[in-house]
């Protein structure tokens, strides 16, 4: 859609060009959405009032909504998928996940329905409101419980694998933190805290063909967890619970019909090699999830990515091979054809030296936040997960049995 506006919005809002046929549903703050009745029984009609924006992705906008019909759960995250998205796949994934303690570290779907609008028919997924993992992990509370958070993420991934699901897009941005005290707060106190929304009015320079397809304004997202950390002393004393979310790119292992879309920084070597050398995106696997889990755990514990400035290129392949200490047999012909790669020092000894330098940094240079014994034990776990050959990586169940988790807080169980 060719659309020219008088004012440009900030980068933290969705692309206005996505509000077209097959794209996003226009929302106004304060809208009340009435899902269609499931049947003719006496259940109360569901009503969701849109309070603010929580975020967006390429194929959805996510809103903070008040469930007017459900006093037991006041607030929900209201994800409106683009009309062109294929929500049946994600709904099928959710249908494979049982509800219970085993899956308490995996996102739970509370409701779903279809919504008709000017740009098409959209699927709405209703779930719990979650906080940002990385923001919490870098707080004093998060650093204190980093081991517990890592165990919870591993528990969530193990549960998915147990039920035949590969996440395929596991990284810190797709892990949230439960907010159990949020429902105790009124909408007024939450909205007062964030103040007047910084709306960018949508005023086209020429009248569009379908004005109703556009929202009247775009609004940047809020961070509910920032509100709780500032206004709710009880939140600091509430046990943290990590929750794996965003299952839109997950696959069932008995189907494997979707290519990988894992970000380069956490993508497994076998996926990255195919992406760089052959320009294809193969299916993610349980083993590629384990590599992504290791990268995510490293970031939670140390606050830094394992692979800095990662892009799908030879540089990342070289960094992976260096860290693992070997070049897979299937990579050899390509490796020899690239002078820069061919001249790299890749050996078990070079890998050991690289890990030793990281050990020295995190036990001495970085202010002594971690003891040498703790980091050595953690690195032993990571290196068992970061094998360049996928079949040699440990399973999620094996990860949970590692001694590094022995001192994890009982709340992670």
Q: What pLDDT score does 204 carry?
A: 84
Cα 217 to Cα 196: distance, rounded to the nearest angstrom: 13
Neighbours of 81 (CB within 10 A): 23
Intervals of CATH 3.30.200.20 along the chain: 1-130+180-233
3-class DSSP state of 228: helix
Cα 188 to Cα 51: distance, rounded to the nearest angstrom: 10
CATH superfamily of 1-130+180-233: Phosphorylase Kinase; domain 1 (3.30.200.20)
CATH superfamily of 259-412: Transferase(Phosphotransferase) domain 1 (1.10.510.10)
* Strand-pair category, 60-67 with 48-57: antiparallel
Low-confidence ranges of the chain (pLDDT < 70): 1-2, 38-43, 365-368, 407-413
Q: What pLDDT score does 410 carry?
A: 42
Phi, psi of 187 (to 5 degrees): -55, -35
Q: What pLDDT score does 365 carry?
A: 67
> In the numeric block, which tokens belong to residue 14?
């969705």
| Beta-sheet strand order (sheet of 60-67) | 32-33, 48-57, 60-67, 75-81, 120-127, 109-117
Intervals of CATH 1.10.510.10 along the chain: 259-412
Q: What pLDDT score does 409 carry?
A: 47
């Amino acid at each position: 859609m060719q659309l020219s506006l008088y004012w440009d919005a900030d980068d933290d809002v969705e692309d206005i060009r996505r509000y077209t046929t097959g794209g996003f549903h226009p929302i106004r703050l304060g809208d009340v959405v009435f899902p269609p009745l499931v049947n003719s029984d006496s259940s109360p009609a569901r009503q969701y009032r849109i309070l603010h924006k929580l975020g967006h992705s390429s194929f959805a906008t996510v809103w903070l909504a008040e469930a007017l019909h459900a006093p037991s759960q006041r607030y929900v995250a209201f994800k409106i998928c683009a009309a062109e998205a294929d929500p049946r796949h994600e709904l099928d994934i959710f249908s494979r996940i049982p509800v219970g303690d085993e899956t308490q570290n995996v996102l739970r779907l509370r409701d779903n329905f279809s919504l008709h609008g000017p740009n098409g028919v959209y699927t709405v997924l209703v779930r719990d409101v979650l906080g940002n993992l990385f923001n919490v992990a870098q707080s004093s509370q998060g650093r204190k419980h980093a081991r517990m958070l890592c165990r919870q993420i591993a528990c969530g991934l193990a549960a998915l694998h147990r039920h035949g699901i590969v996440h395929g897009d596991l990284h810190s941005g797709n892990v949230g933190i439960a907010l159990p005290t949020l429902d105790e707060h009124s909408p007024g106190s939450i909205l007062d805290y964030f103040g007047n929304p910084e709306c960018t009015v949508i005023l086209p320079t020429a009248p569009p063909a379908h004005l109703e397809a556009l929202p009247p304004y775009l609004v940047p997202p809020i961070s509910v967890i920032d509100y709780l950390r500032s206004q709710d002393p009880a939140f600091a004393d509430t046990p943290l619970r990590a929750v794996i979310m965003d299952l839109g790119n997950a696959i069932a292992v008995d189907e494997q019909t979707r290519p990988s879309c894992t970000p380069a920084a956490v993508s497994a070597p076998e996926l990255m090699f195919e992406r760089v050398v052959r320009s294809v995106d193969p299916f993610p696997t349980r083993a590629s999830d384990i590599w992504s889990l290791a990268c995510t755990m490293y970031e939670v514990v140390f606050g830094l990515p394992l692979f800095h400035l990662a892009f799908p290129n030879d540089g990342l392949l070289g960094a992976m091979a260096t860290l693992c200490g070997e070049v897979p047999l299937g990579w050899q012909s390509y490796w020899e054809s690239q002078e820069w790669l061919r001249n790299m020092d890749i050996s078990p000894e070079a890998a050991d030296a690289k890990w030793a330098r990281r050990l020295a940094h995190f036990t001495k240079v970085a202010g002594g936040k971690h003891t040498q014994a703790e980091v050595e034990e953690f690195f032993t776990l990571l290196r068992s997960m970061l094998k360049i050959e996928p079949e040699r990586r440990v399973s999620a169940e094996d990860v949970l049995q590692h001694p590094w988790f022995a001192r994890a807080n009982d709340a992670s169980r």
